[in-house]
Amino acid sequence: MPTDDDIRKMESQLSRISRLRSKGGIEGARIERPEGYYRQYVGIVIANRKFIYINAFCDDKPPSNWQESIVDVCDGGCSWGVVYDIEKGAFSDLEMNGIA
């Protein structure tokens, strides 16, 4: 579970996501303003290292339970995901689905 400090630090660096290019879905695409999307955070552990996965989407009216349940966009729409390395303070593995 990410700490409040981990999330604050990560959110203060969201603009760095715009430097990444998508490696999946819409290859080579970028996110212009990552702070403008609805974002869900999931703590993950890989090889004993802590990361935060950001599940992001845009929607005029998000599902009413978006703050309690993962929003899964299978195809279309504008959604993306990225991994944040808590220790390094770096984003990676941008994947996009649909039009950003």
pTM: 0.86
Residue in this structure with the two tokens 């899964």, named with its chain if needed = 72
Cβ of 17: how many Cβ atoms within 10 Å?
A: 22
| The pLDDT of residue 26 is above 90 | no
pLDDT mean over 15-33: 89
Indicate the pairing of strand 49-57 with strand 78-85. antiparallel
In the prediction, which pLDDT does 74 show? 58
Q: Please indicate whether residue 25 or residue 31 has the higher confidence score (pLDDT).
A: 31
